Structure 1
Amino acid sequence: MAAGNMKQIRRRIKSVQSTMQITKAMELVASSKVRRAKERVERSRPYFDTLYDTITRIAAANRDGSSVYTKPREVKKSLYLVIAGDRGLAGGYNANIFKLATAQMAGKDTAVITIGKKAQEHYAKHAGSVLADYPGIAETMRISDTHSIVRQFLDLFKRGEVDEVFLCYTKYVSPLTQEPRCIQLLPLSFGKEETDTKQSRVLTEYDPSPEAVFNEIIPEYLNGVLYGAVVESYASEQSARRMAMEAASDNAGEMIENLNLSYNRARQASITQEITEIVAGAGQVGS
């Protein structure tokens, strides 16, 4: 019986060791991708900050609310852009963003544009209107790749087919922290205090008008926001995967230690049983 247990334990140890090799390799790959993704995040943030500073300054000069991008309207249909990963094995990364998006969509008539294979798979299983899917673009994303996506939801918004647009993504805070977020893209809203600060800082004349300049720069602003969100989400995905694979490797190591202990105990029990049988047999022969 002990010999059978020992064989099972040896097979289990080999299986766990094979799994541990895979998780270690995935951890190393994710660590390498995290470094590159973090560099992309750091390069994209100044671009977004400059765009945001410019757009709020122009908004301060355009207070009449005449722009189609800022004018509030009755909300009948909402559009959500949901950014998730292209692969699994990333801990709660995908589940967290889906949970947030579901909470935000509750009670609304919604349509969805998915970015990432996991988002595509998730919303294909749920009732609702999926307008477009963009899987496998996050790793090689460029600012020009956002143009078709932004143009699509801008056209829908301007035609009145959707009345508000939201973006759900995961913000990269640190290698250990990622925060799912949902922000409103359209209609744009800037706080009065913020626009007052921009207006008091500099007095600028816009030709032909602040509204015209504002309407021209909004698509570029949205391109920058979407690109930044995809880059942040990709860095978050790789960080979450690295942490998940590190935890899996640590758990596999602990499991191997426990299995080795069980194997040694079974081996000791087998030896003890053999000694007991030999002693018992010798006693019977001697009698």
Structure 2
Amino acid sequence: MANTREIQSRMKSIQDTMKITNAMYTISSSKLKKARKTLTDTEPYFYSLQQMISRILRHIPEMDNPYFDARPQIKPEDRKIGYIVVSADKGLAGAYNHNVFKLVEEQLEKPGTPLLFVVGVLGRQYFAKKGIPVEEQFHYTVQNPNMSRARIISEMILDYYLTGKLDEVHIIYTRMVNAMKMEAEMEQLLPLKRLSFSVPANVPLEEINLKPSADAVINSIVPIYCSGFIYGSLVESYSCEQNSRMLAMQTATDSAKKMLSELSIAYNRARQAAITQEITEVISGARAQKNKK
């Protein structure tokens, strides 16, 4: 059994760790609230853009636009597929990053030529360690997701798509199902799917005037829509990261409390044993002195 000094040292170390985990929990909680509020404030604008695209397609269902071109003539094994991978800059967030990387590796096994566009330091480090080439890395984007940084990613992706360097673009991020469950998901960003913007057939056609043309309007709206989609994914992932870190820190704190309880019992037993030993030694000494007389 460890002596009381050793047990006290371990207890102090655990208490110091608890201070850190509690602080990280509080910080993540604050960041989560801020991120969710930001997303809630900006969502109506991008939903309006989605509705606008739906209105245009409802009037001109057979519109020939490159953003809707699925390029069916290209075989699956010849398709160049881009993946925007949203990971974290920091660890200590449970299985948050692992789930994203697992989904990416599943996609890399499918036919086609994959190109990775990685957001987050841990993603960059992970693929470098695995020897998986990365087409582009976006620095300092995860910790402060905003429209400016989402627009930078969107502009590059749209350029790759329109110039034929990519035939498809998918974004892999983490979605918050509820406060206790987060899932890594993949959504297709380009080409746009007409069914995603479909509306019920019984909706009457209102009068609409598109200037200078429907194609020009779509070409103006889609880049903003893509930026908004990426921005929403960044904020959603950031929220999931903070929530995962909160859960991980809460679990660590609970484990520390359990260890402290067990160590407290061990400390009391060690102290009791030491006292008992001292009493025994005193009695033995007194008895020895008595026998000498």
Is TM more than 0.5 here? yes
Q: Secondary structure at the match of 1:69?
A: helix
**Counterpart in 2 of 1:61?**
59
In the TM superposition, residue 277 of structure 1 has moved relative to its aligned partner by: 3.1
Kindly indicate whether the alpha-carbon contact (under 8 Å) linking 1:110 and 1:129 is maintained by their aligned counterparts in 2. Answer: no
**Counterpart in 2 of 1:229?**
233
Match of 2:101 among 86, 98, 102: 98
Change (3 A) 1:192 1:128: closer
CA distance in 2, matches of 1:176, 1:47: 28
1:169-180 alignment to 2 at 5 Å? 169-180=173-184
TM-score, length basis structure 2: 0.88
Match of 1:11 among 6, 9, 29: 9
CA distance in 1, matches of 2:201, 2:36: 31
**Counterpart in 2 of 1:184?**
188
CA distance in 1, matches of 2:168, 2:83: 9
CA distance in 1, matches of 2:196, 2:159: 28
- The 10-residue stretch of structure 1 (194-203 or 115-124) with the greater mean CA deviation from structure 2: 194-203
Kindly indicate whether the alpha-carbon contact (under 8 Å) linking 1:111 and 1:128 is maintained by their aligned counterparts in 2. Answer: no
**Counterpart in 1 of 2:89?**
86
**Backbone CA RMSD of aligned residues:** 2.2
**Counterpart in 2 of 1:272?**
276
Q: Is 2:151 the counterpart of 1:153?
A: no
Q: Is 2:133 the counterpart of 1:129?
A: yes
What amino acid is aligned across from residue 148 of structure 1 in structure 2? I
CA distance in 1, matches of 2:48, 2:35: 21
**Counterpart in 2 of 1:204?**
208
What amino acid is aligned across from residue 211 of structure 1 in structure 2? D
**Counterpart in 2 of 1:262?**
266
CA distance in 2, matches of 1:90, 1:33: 14
What CA deviation, in whole Å up to 9, does each residue of 1:85-130 have, x standing for no partner?
Answer: 1111111111122222222332242111111222222222233331
Change (3 A) 1:118 1:203: farther
In the TM superposition, residue 192 of structure 1 has moved relative to its aligned partner by: 8.0
What amino acid is aligned across from residue 94 of structure 1 in structure 2? N
What CA deviation, in whole Å up to 9, does each residue of 1:228-276 have, x standing for no partner?
Answer: 1111111111111112112211211111111111111111112222223
In the TM superposition, residue 179 of structure 1 has moved relative to its aligned partner by: 2.7
What amino acid is aligned across from residue 49 of structure 2 in structure 1? L
Kindly indicate whether the alpha-carbon contact (under 8 Å) linking 1:41 and 1:235 is maintained by their aligned counterparts in 2. Answer: no
Match of 1:107 among 104, 110, 123: 110
> Please, which runs of 5 or more residues in structure 2 have no aligned partner?
none
CA distance in 1, matches of 2:61, 2:121: 41
In the TM superposition, residue 195 of structure 1 has moved relative to its aligned partner by: 4.0
- The 10-residue stretch of structure 1 (13-22 or 190-199) with the greater mean CA deviation from structure 2: 190-199
In the TM superposition, residue 210 of structure 1 has moved relative to its aligned partner by: 2.3
Q: Is 2:152 the counterpart of 1:166?
A: no
Kindly indicate whether the alpha-carbon contact (under 8 Å) linking 1:113 and 1:130 is maintained by their aligned counterparts in 2. Answer: yes
What amino acid is aligned across from residue 48 of structure 1 in structure 2? F
Identity of aligned residues (%): 36
Q: Is 2:41 the counterpart of 1:43?
A: yes
**Counterpart in 2 of 1:242?**
246
Q: Secondary structure at the match of 2:68?
A: coil
CA distance in 2, matches of 1:17, 1:96: 31
Change (3 A) 1:202 1:102: farther
CA distance in 1, matches of 2:270, 2:188: 61
> Please, which runs of 5 or more residues in structure 1 have no aligned partner?
none
TM-score, length basis structure 1: 0.90
- The 10-residue stretch of structure 1 (120-129 or 149-158) with the greater mean CA deviation from structure 2: 120-129
Change (3 A) 1:200 1:131: farther
